[in-house]
Amino acid sequence: MATRVQLGTPLPELFASDPRDEAWATPLEQFYKVEVADFLATMVPEAADLAIECRTSICKIDFVVPNERVTAAFSREQALPFGDSFAPWNEAIDGDPDHGHVGVYVFFTPETRTLDEIVRYFREQYAGRFAAGLDALRAYYDQLERERAL
């Protein structure tokens, strides 16, 4: 996989070419659906249409926000502890001038691919990164955005 990324394979193509491992993908999608939805409820409450799809070594997480919130949502999603290798992205929605997609591709190596390891890492990192709670993190990001707007 790393070689394909280094050769410049566009991420959507890389994701599409990764076969699905049903036994691994389904429980990971369920785990991420709960965790990301809880995070977005506080950090990006205007997010809608959360979609999560995992394959064999890649997951794609995607949601929709109003265009004026794309930059903020893009920044905030990167606080989530997806692991060592992830690629955040955003793009316009064809036919919808008011909304955009924000998402992330999360990559897994065979060494980090076990569901137990992913869940353990995510929960440990989440607890450490957000020790003061998501409301405090949201207040921090809100303040940064206000300062940037000045």
Each domain of the chain, given as residue ranges in start order, spans 2-145
Both tokens of 150, joined, read: 């000045």
DSSP conformation class of 52: E
Where residue 7 falls among pLDDT bands split at 50, 70, 90?
A: low
Please indicate, yes or no, whether the overall pTM of this predicted structure exceeds 0.85: yes
The Cα 125–Cα 112 span in angstroms is 15
DSSP per position, 83-125: -S-EEEEEEEETTEEEEEEEEEEEE--GGG--HHHHHHHHHHH
Report pLDDT for 113: 84
